[in-house]
Amino acid sequence: MRLAFVLCCLLVVAPVARAAGLNLAWDQCLSEGGVAAKKFACNTSTGFQYLYGSFVPARPHPRFVGCAFYVDILSEATGLPDWWQFYWGGSCRQTALNVSFDFTGAPQGACNDPFSGQGYGGIANYVVTNHPRPDYQPRPNGARIIIGVVATSPVNVSAGTEYYGFRLAISNQSSAGPGACAGCATAACVTLTEAEVVDDKPDPPPGQQGQPTQFERLNMQSMGNMVSWQDAGPSCQSAVKNKTWGQLKSLYR
């Protein structure tokens, strides 16, 4: 009887090991109640829509120092709507996209903050067809958000544990009334396509060359890394259903 009681207690307090990969959800971390679909009436230009990205490493990172995240948008229109045009000068909603790495107000139950409220970084690039990168050419109806974040000092990150990665804040500005940007009501799919989890290299022994910086590349697992906007159908299905990683990459080239 006593052994059974002890085993039950261990089951209750044992951490939940999760499959390695990426998650994306509206409103909060997916494992803490975030949702995969968001509908917005486009009837106000105040407030925000929040996207939470999280990651589960496949291996431990005893000297974790940061991440790079790649978030892809795919609209169901033939071109990328004005409402999704951010970042670049002359864009319809140039300042409507921001990112945060402060999770002090989040539940921090199923997901963990690897930065302890001290992560810093930002949006490194917002790539559309008018501003292509040499290594990435988005589709005419798509865009890519590149996010970078670093910790103030190396920390230990465990394999099989889910960690907050970023919180994207998409402003509702210019969604309603005179001067509204077209395309708010157009369905779209947003995918956390890839992440690079970076380790700081340890100090080399005296007289020896240091090791190169190491990182783990994560890509999607099933459909937990994808969300829809305004009931996106074909875009989200074509983005992930029955596709290998190589096929998925070709969708966004």
Q: What percent of the chain has pLDDT over 70?
A: 75
Q: What percent of the chain has pLDDT over 90?
A: 64
Tell me, rounded to whole angstroms, the distance of Cα 212 from its chain centroid. Answer: 26
Q: What is the pLDDT of residue 31?
A: 93
- Rounded CA gap, 24 and 232, in Å? 15
The pLDDT of residue 21 is above 80? yes
Q: What is the pLDDT of residue 10?
A: 34
- Rounded CA gap, 158 and 160, in Å? 6
Q: What is the pLDDT of residue 229?
A: 96
Which of the two residues, 251 and 68, has the higher pLDDT score? 68
**Quick one: which of 98, 108, 94 has its CA closest to 51?**
98
Q: What is the mean pLDDT of residues 149-174?
A: 95
Tell me, rounded to whole angstroms, the distance of Cα 243 from its chain centroid. Answer: 20
Tell me, rounded to whole angstroms, the distance of Cα 179 from its chain centroid. Answer: 30
pLDDT band at 128 (very low <50, low <70, confident <90, very high): confident
**Quick one: which of 29, 130, 123, 127 has its CA closest to 72?**
127
- Rounded CA gap, 71 and 92, in Å? 20
Domain extents in the chain: 18-35+42-202+210-251
Tell the residue number behind the tokens 């989200």, with chain if given. 236
Of 70-84, 181-195, 225-239, the one with minimum mean pLDDT is 225-239
pLDDT band at 200 (very low <50, low <70, confident <90, very high): confident
- Rounded CA gap, 187 and 83, in Å? 11
